[in-house]
Each structure stands twice: as C-alpha cells, then as structure tokens.
Structure 1
Amino acid sequence: MMTQRFATSAETGAGATLRRLLTADGTRAHPYPTRIAANRSDARDLSDAVHALCAVHGHHPDLLAIAADLTKAPVERDWLLEASEGFAVERAGLAKLVAAAGPLPSTPGQAETSAALSAERHTLEMLARSERAGVALGAAAALVGDWQAIRLVLDHAADRFGVLLPPASALDAEALLDRTAALERAVGFGAQQLLAQHRGLWSLLEARASARDRH
C-alpha cells in the first residue's frame, strides 16, 4: 500500500523552496569551491575565483540595487535596500581581495572566459529587471543565501592574501520570502536562474584550473 507524504508547513512556501534550491544547486553543492576553500588550495585558483567573482558581482548597480530600485512592495523593498547596503560592503571587500591577489593567473582561453563573465553579468541584470512578479526577489534572495557559501571561499582567500574582510551579512532571505505574498513559482524561477549562473561560474573556474594544470 502506497503511503502519501504530506508536506509540513516548514517544507512549503517560497522560503522552503529557496532552502531546497540552495541545498541542491547552490555553491555548497558544487565540489570546486569546497576544494579551493581547503587549507592546501592553490593560490592561483583562489586568485582566479576572486577575479571572476569581482567581474560578475563587483559592479554597481548590482542585482540587489537594481531590484531594490524597481520593487514597489514596501516589505520587499526595505529588505532589498538593506541587502543592497550589505552587499556594497561585500563589493568593497572583493575589490581589496583583487588588489591583494595580483594579476589574473595565466590561463588558456582568457578571451572566452571574459565573454562568459560578461554574459553572466548581463543575465543577472535581466533577472533584476524582470517584470514578472517574484522573479527579481527570488534571484536576490538566492544571491544573499548563496553568498554565505561563497564567503567561505572569500574568507580563505583573505587569509591567504592577508586581507581583513568585514563579517558577512546576517540577512535571512528565507524569512523574508515567508513574510511576502510573492508567487512561489516565480520566486523559485528567479532563484533557480541565479544559482544556475553561480554553478556555471564555478564549473568555468574548475575548467580553468584544469587547463592551468595541463600547461
């Protein structure tokens, strides 16, 4: 006899959707950032990651700032404004890391990498400007949630390159989504698209590390 599994309240809603997506598809689920955050990671790999993250997320206005500017709902807008202020601190930290890490490590296919990073920035901007209710919020929430895992890489890079980074923001993206009336499907779509861009970034960096090892 087949038993039916009923979802609890903690397993439903946009906040729970984000949590599941972060677990399945976020930075923590990709093996490469876990590897380069380890104590014996190659400094070239850390430098490459810092430069790439800065190329994608170091520009202003970023995804959070654009979404905050275009969002009208008060609760969502207030959260996005706070998140944008916190991310400005993260961008400043990225700039310090790039300066401390020095030039990009020599890697075959740099022109293709630059084009891919530019395309990723464009995709993030399109998500932030989406006219479909909930998409920009979902992407923004996924960025804030996934950044907690990205900070593990950045914190290790900071230790390696002698940079003092401020504490990471403690904003709760899941709690925000549970307090809003945003459409769960649209929020999930925005979050999925953001995390797909991050997965692609880590896979690109992994391929670049392999290319360096072959030369």
Structure 2
Amino acid sequence: MVFATTHSDRSNGAWTALAAMVENDGSRREGYCASLLRPDAPARDLADAVHCLCLLHGRQPGVIDSAAARPVTDDTNALLEKAAAAYAEERATLIRLVAAVGPLPSTPGQAETEAAIAAQRHALDMLATSDRKGCPMGASLALMLDWAAIRAVLDATAARVGIEITPSVLPTPAETATLVDAIGGSAPFDRALLFGAQQLLAQHHALWQLLEARAEARNAG
C-alpha cells in the first residue's frame, strides 16, 4: 500500500486504518479519475472535472480551514495551519485552471449537477464543523491524502492547456502519519477520525460517479 508502507514501523492502528481506507477507497481507485490521466482523455472531460472540483473544494473556508480553527493539540494546530496555507494554493490553482479551460462543457442535467454538488458541499461542511471530536480531523487528513490523486488530474489538465502550476506542498503522508501517532489512541477519537475520513472519501466517490455520468450524457448527446 502506498500510504501504509510509509508508516509500517509504527503501531498506531488509526493510521493503519486511515492509510488503508484512502488506498482502497480513495480517488486513486476510481476508474473515471484514472481515465482522465490518459493522453487521449477528452479536453471537455478534463474541463468538466476541474469546474466541478472547484465547485466542491474551491470555497473558503474549506474542510481543512475549519479543522484548523479548532485543533486538538498544539501539534495538530501547527500541521493544520501548514495544510491550510498549502490548500489555499491548491484553491488558487483550481481557480486558475477553471479560467484556463474555458466554460463548463454543455451537459444535460446541469441543474441536477449543481444541486448534487451543493449537497456534497453541505455534507463536507457538516463534517468539518462537527462537534464529534476527531471527525473534522479525519475529514481533513483524508482530504490531504486523497488530494494526490486529484492533483494528478489537475496536473494533466494544466499540461493539456499549456500552463505551469505550482507543485502541491500539502503535508506528506509521513507527516500525516506522525500527526496521527501524536493524537490517536483513544478508541472514541479514533472511531470519529475514521468516520470523518470515510465520509470525505464517500463524497469524492460520489463526485467521480457524477462526473462519469456527465461524460456519458455528453457522449450520448
């Protein structure tokens, strides 16, 4: 496993479970996400993905910002502040790519798409502001880890439209593992952390499904 082996010498069960969850259920495993990395991926599909990703994750405050506003410990505060600053750069990259790819591709069911993504944003807001200790942290950590697969799509889009974008400086899996070691251990906290992560990944899964359905609708038209 990409993430689990990063931390194979540690004993924290929460990290092992989180790493396996992202590896097995994250965007890297989504067939449609992988299809966007092919050299022959339609430009309209890349543009659609960038626009919809921006609708979901291009707002401020986002998941990581909200978690950084209510850290668990001083150590988590430092890492989440770093992550929030790094993610601000990712938001800027999304916005820049939206401008570069042009208008959202014409697709049947646009109103339904906007409603679905609005519901996803609401779900992410609920996770990020949950009073269940550990839940906002889990959602944030899952986003950091899963972003690598999403960033690959952004990189492919940037290459297609001929612009350079700044490399991501989000915390590495090793840094994230160290953080989970520092804050994990309590069974209720770990359960909440993994719940937050699971729900974040579920929203990403739903987005990739939506994007694939939109591509099929365009092709059918």
Q: Please report the TM-score for the alignment, with normalisation by the length of structure 2.
A: 0.90
1:64-90 Cα offsets, whole Å, 9 max, x none, are 111111225211122111100000000
Q: Which residue of 1 aligns with 2:53?
A: 53
Pairing 1:177–2:180 present: yes
Question: Aligned pair in 2 of structure 1 residues 20, 72: CA closer, same or farther (>3 Å)?
Answer: closer
Query: How many correspondences in the alignment?
Result: 208
Contact 1:67 1:140 in 2 (8 A): yes
Q: Partner residue of 2:203? A: 197
1:169-197 Cα offsets, whole Å, 9 max, x none, are: 25132221122136221111000000000
Matches within 5 A, 1:67-106: 67-106=67-106
- 1:27 aligns with 27
Separation in structure 1 between the aligned mates of residue 177 and residue 203 of structure 2, nearest angstrom: 20
Decide whether aligned partners of structure 1 residues 68 and 41 sit closer, same or farther in structure 2, where only a CA change above 3 A counts.
same
For each residue in 1:46-105, what CA deviation from the matched residue of structure 2 results, as whole angstroms up to 9, or x when unmatched? 000000000011011111111111225211122111100000000000011000010010
135-144 vs 183-192, which deviates more? 183-192
SS of the residue aligned with 1:104?
coil
Give 1:3's aligned residue: none
| Cα distance in 1 between the residues matched to 2:40 and 2:61 | 35
The 8 Å contact of residues 12 and 181 in structure 2, kept in 1 or not, is answered as no
| Preserved CA contact (<8 Å) 2:87 2:170 | no
Cα distance between partner residues in 1 of 2:9 and 2:131:
29
Secondary structure of 2:138's aligned partner: helix
Distance 1:44 1:104 in 2: 8
2:167 corresponds to which residue? Answer: 167
2:26 partner letter: G
**CA offsets 1:122-152 (integer angstroms, 9 cap, x no match):** 1111111011111100000000000011111
Q: Which residue of 2 aligns with 1:66?
A: 66
Structure-2 separation of matches of 1:131 and 1:124: 14
Moved over 6 A (4+): none
Q: Secondary structure at 2:143's aligned position in 1?
A: helix
User: Once the 2 structures are TM-superposed, how far is the Cα of residue 38 of structure 1 from its aligned partner?
Assistant: 1.1
Give, in whole Å, the separation in 2 of the partners of 1:109 and 1:161. 26
- 2:128: which partner in 1? 128
Q: Aligned to 2:103, what secondary structure does the other structure show?
A: coil
Q: Is the 2:47–2:105 contact (alpha carbons within 8 Å) kept by the matching residues of 1?
A: yes
Q: What is the TM-score with the length of structure 1 in the denominator?
A: 0.93
Paired with 1:22 and 1:162, the residues of 2 have a C-alpha distance of 30
